[in-house]
Amino acid sequence: MMSNNPTLRISSVSKHFETGKGRVTAVDNVSLDIKQGEFISIIGPSGCGKSTLMNMIGGLITEYDGKVLLEGKQVRGCQPDIGMVFQEESTFPWRTAIENVAFPLEAAGVPKDKRLARAHELLDLVGLTGFENHFPSELSGGMRQRIAIARTLAFQPRILLMDEPFAALDEQTRLLLGDKVVQIQQQLEQTTLLITHNIAEAVQLSDRVLIMTFRPGRIKRVVDINLPRPRSSEMMGSEKFSSYVAEIWADLRTEASKGLKESEAAAAH
């Protein structure tokens, strides 16, 4: 189960952007240890730098201060041990579901029968058995996002990074997909870092929820979620669940209002 040594250590990571109006600090001195098998959510208002943080961990941003250590080794740039799922549509429309999932294996030169067998397992894991030969345009948004998750899991990454993977989906699909993700994560003991702005989603899925401040993005507070596992969206009615949601919102509210004020001020100019 969970060991005490962190799988992923984020050590004093900061990122500044030069803009026309001067230097903007997107992420300010964030440190975080993630243990093997842990599910952590980062929640924060729009513009708090949470996507920037994820892109640094995932290796899409390589210029930053501080260090990201995977099993003690510094990482910079993309690598197979860290898989990423994005909010935006990323399935290839010219590939069937199974060919989409097999994409990373194909790129790595895994023989066809092996990669299709593996893709088959992964589609089964995300509950899409029977849809192997469907093209993305024939599937719903939630199904396409499950294909993207299965594709990212093809190499069993040490860390699964998800940047608002359910943001484009409707509420009910989002809840059901959350249940699926929790189930997969538990089954694989997959260390997962989820970026979200949805409080209920963070509580539903996570062991720990990190609340980030509005610009510059810092970690404001860490909330341990002591809800029993296995979890499901049915727990949303429980008193404990609601108290976590209320607790996180109390902290998040001030940050979100700062963000709102700033964007209204920008719109007024």
Partner 1 sequence: MALASSMSRASHVMTYRLIGVTTILAVWEAAGASGLFFRGVLPSSILIAKSFWRLMGDPVFWGHFGVTFFEIATGFGIGSVLGVAAGLMLGMNRYTGKVFEPVVEYLAATPKVVFLPILLILFGIGVGSKISLAALSCFFPMSLSLAAGVRAINPMFLRVGQTLNLTLLQRIAMIYLPALIPPLSTGLRLGFGIATVGALLSEIKLSNKGLGHAAMQAYARFDIPTMLAILIIIFALAGMGNYLIGSLVKLPGPDSSRRIKSPS
Find tokens 């990454």 and name the residue: 157
Q: Does 99 bind partner 1 (CB under 8 A)?
A: yes
Local structure of 29: helix, strand or coil: strand
Amino acid at 147: I
Nearer to partner 1, 88 or 189 (CB): 88
Q: Minimum Å distance from CB 188 to partner 1?
A: 19
Q: Minimum Å distance from CB 98 to partner 1?
A: 6
Q: Minimum Å distance from CB 174 to partner 1?
A: 19
Local structure of 254: helix, strand or coil: helix
Query: Contact region for partner 1 (CB under 8 A) — 6-14, 15-23, 79-87, 246-254?
Result: 79-87
Q: Which of 217, 226, 259, 265 is nearest to 32 (CA)?
A: 217
Q: Which of 13, 60, 12, 9 is nearest to 163 (CA)?
A: 60
Question: Dihedrals φ, ψ of 18, to 5°?
Answer: -90, 120
Q: Does 81 bind partner 1 (CB under 8 A)?
A: no
Nearer to partner 1, 137 or 226 (CB): 137
CA distances 210 to 105, 109, 185, 223, 263, Å, are 33, 38, 19, 6, 23
CA distances 152 to 84, 208, 218, Å, are 6, 23, 28
Among 46, 65, 76, 89, binds partner 1 (CB under 8 A): 89
Query: Contact region for partner 1 (CB under 8 A) — 37-45, 62-70, 105-113, 182-190?
Result: 105-113
Query: C-alpha angle 247/253/254, rounded to 5°?
Result: 120
Local structure of 19: helix, strand or coil: strand
Q: Does 224 bind partner 1 (CB under 8 A)?
A: no
Query: Contact region for partner 1 (CB under 8 A) — 25-33, 42-50, 109-117, 236-244?
Result: 109-117
Q: Does 78 bind partner 1 (CB under 8 A)?
A: yes
Joined together, the tokens standing for residue 162 give: 């998800």
The number of residues that bind partner 1 (CB under 8 A) is: 34
Among 46, 71, 93, 238, binds partner 1 (CB under 8 A): 93
Among 103, 166, 241, 244, binds partner 1 (CB under 8 A): 103
Q: Can you tell me the distance from the alpha carbon of 169 to that of 172, in angstroms, rounded to the nearest whole number?
A: 8
Give residues in contact with partner 1 (CB under 8 A).
Answer: 58-60, 77-80, 83-84, 86, 88-90, 92-96, 98-99, 103-104, 106-107, 113, 116-117, 120, 132-133, 135, 137-138, 151
